[in-house]
Structure 1
Amino acid sequence: MIHDTKIRLHGIDAPESAQLCQDGAGKDYRCGQAAALALADQIGAATVSCDPRDTDKYSRTVAVCRKGAEDLNEWMVAQGYAIAYRRYSLDYVPAETTAKAIKRGIWAGTFQEPSEWRKAKREGGSEGRQEPARADGCTIKGNISRKGEKVFHVPGSRDYDRTRISEKAGERMFCSEDEARAAGWRAPKG
């Protein structure tokens, strides 16, 4: 919050304060709380300026915020405290790709995408690490439809957030679209 204005950082999605992730050793930690504390530490006593981009459904200002010349939204993703929120912007995908490759922050272990965690909470489901993104960055969901069709969904695609993976049913995660195709899965139609 800046001067009584609630701010949501544009183009990124950070874990929620009560959300649990697992670190590289498999130990649970409050990754959302860690992200909030890291951002507060990064800002310190500095002046922050925010460039409003939109207003969300909760009446929060969606903005790109900076500490001097530093894009704090990008910093959060680059440090592994948030993911690029592809549903709204591709601005921070390169920072996420780098954080994932070097296993920084949440990418060092396993976590559930924040939007999936919120959805599970709203639906009264588990709030744990259901369907974690793997530390190796394999986030493409290989789903088997009711008709038995093997379909893969990439992050940011229309059905990605609502697709659930059941390894017991033969479903799995893939690291690339080519890997999914080689295993017999296809991209969604339409």
Structure 2
Amino acid sequence: MSAELTRTAALFRALSHPARLSLLRLVWTQEASGEGLARLMNLAPATVSHHLAQLTEAGLLTTRQDGHHRLHRAATATLDLPLGDLVRGAATPPSSSDPYEGRVLRAFFKEGRLTVLPAQHKKRDVVLRELASLFDPGRRYPEREVNAVLGEVYSDVMTLRRELVGLGVLAREAGVYWRPEATPLA
């Protein structure tokens, strides 16, 4: 089975549980902490944490650290992919359930922040593709907004911008950045 089919199947598996669908609905337009979601859904925090981990692994949630809380939000770039395109293979989910990529992301991200940019190109590309998923395809971002998004994850935003453009997962012209719509992230 191809990596593309594995990623797509993981996305559908993550969507197959009613509690996970409810969680996505709750974080569609605003961020929420796991504890807050557990209260809203009247579920044990451990149960909600399990579901959030599956949604995150499938690329359906983004997470950021805010003080002592991890805030979750629906990854609209992934969720806006047309269903028919996913089934036909014309589009692939931005995040991967590939075991290697999962290990790389777990090694370099702690509590929603990038600890260090990997020196090895293969690992760096995995991290950069993950960071590119923070941007909606085709949407134009002024440099200050790109800096704000990347600054939530890593302090050296200039290096991240340069590397994202160099890899081709972000494009830049006259201080405006965008994620090309035809750029696969996997």
Tell me which structure has the larger Cα radius of gyration.
1
> What is the TM-score when the length of structure 2 is the normalising length?
0.32
Higher normalized helix content (fraction of residues): 2
TM-score between both structures, scaled by the size of structure 1: 0.32
